[in-house]
Amino acid sequence: MKYVYGAIAVALAFVLAFNTGEGSKISDMTVVQAIAADRENGEYLLTIQYLDLNRGSGKTDGLASSLTSNAQGRGSTLKEAYTNLKKTLPDSLFFGQAKIIVLSEKLSPSDIKAIKDELYGNKKLRTDMLVSQSKTAYTVLECGFRNERVPIDGICKELRRENALVFVNELEGNNAQLPEIVINGDSGYVIPAPPRG
């Protein structure tokens, strides 16, 4: 019994440490589920899909309605795009639950390097997130997927089912071939494209 109480005490210590580490409650944060990085008109465009606890709670919202919303920020640099993204949301961004980052095919090698440097240098971002690419990355986050409550979860399940997995920490070697996500306009589904060649 002494070991059970010890385990409970350790678990409570972890919960308290993680809840107070940044001085904010999770209810006071924007919990990011996915990130998309694009280039449009010479600017970076960052899009996030985040949990929106105001959605899916109304009487008119069905059980299949999404619990997420999207937000975007633009800028001539990644930092500027991120700053402008933060301005669109009332709460600080929490990336601890982010599952995937989608990169646009229009990003140049120097854009990819800047994003990789940010991913590896930012302690708030997880290095075990999935990475994929798409013609236009933000459209992946805008596409509903089989009525998932958190649409990006369906995309991640599909990538796992197809065994099309590349993680952020595998980008460092530059040899990773990113799985391509294609939007099927007829069904609205997001699916990995068949392997090339």
Summarize pLDDT for 142-177 with one digit per residue, the tens. Answer: 876 666 788 888 888 888 888 888 888 887 655 568
Higher pLDDT, 98 or 125: 98
Task: Assign residue 146 a region (left: φ > 0; alpha: ψ between -120 and 50; beta: otherwise).
Answer: left
pTM: predicted TM-score of the whole model, two decimal places: 0.78
- Residue 100: CB atoms within 10 A of its CB come to 23
The answer, yes or no, to whether residue 102 has pLDDT greater than 90, is yes
| Cβ contact 146:97 at 8 Å | no
Q: What is the pLDDT of residues 39-81, one digit of tens each?
A: 999 999 999 999 987 765 555 455 556 788 999 999 999 899 9
Give the residue, 180 or 190, on which the prediction is more confident.
Answer: 180
Which residues, including other chains, have CB under 8 Å from residue 18's CB and lie 6 or more apart? none
> Which class for 116: exposed (0-12), middle (13-18), buried (19 or more C-beta within 10 A)?
middle
Residue written as token pair 């120097």: 110
SS3 state of residue 34: strand
Average pLDDT over residues 121-130: 80
Amino acid identity, residue 43? Answer: E
